Homo-oligomer: A and B are copies of this chain.
Amino acid sequence: MPKKSVQRDIIRANILHRFDHPTAEMVWTSVRQTNPRVSLATVYRNLESLVREGEIHRFVVPNEPDHYDATQTEHIHAHCRECGQIFDIDVKLNKRLSERVKAIAGVEVDKVQLIATGVCQKCQ
């Protein structure tokens, strides 16, 4: 169990209460508005800690730093390469897919990330 800390509470509250899928730096920017002394390293450390505990997820985006996601239901991401916005798409494929991967490649899958890249309506 991580020890309680002011910074941890702030960072945790921030990521849990927003609906975009911020990068560490985005969380940092937001957190600093009320708590200017929080360092980016602390944001990274606490986000990683929340990932370890399963409260949030970290995912890769092409040509971008990693993003974090507090949504717990199964879904995939669409990413607009123009404005950077990330959209949740409610698609369930983990179970069947994991079975298939296990059968074909022998890999015991514990994490599936799907990212669809394109251009959103506003940016077209």
Contact = CB atoms under 8 A, between A and B. Distances in A.
Interface of A: 58-62, 66, 76, 78-80, 87, 89-91, 93, 97-98, 100-101, 104-122, 124
B91 A119 contact: no
B114 A118 contact: no
Q: Indicate how many identical chains form the complex.
A: 2
A109 B118 contact: yes
Contacts of A76: 97
B121 A117 contact: no
A111 B117 CA distance: 5
Q: Which of A101, A112, A116 has the most CB of B within 10 A?
A: A116
A92 to B, nearest CB: 12
A110 B104 CA distance: 27
A70 B56 CA distance: 33
B107 A111 contact: no
24 contacts: A59-B62, A60-B115, A62-B66, A62-B111, A78-B101, A78-B105, A78-B109, A89-B101, A91-B97, A98-B118, A105-B120, A106-B120, A106-B122, A107-B116, A108-B120, A108-B124, A109-B117, A109-B118, A110-B118, A111-B116, A111-B118, A112-B116, A113-B114, A113-B117
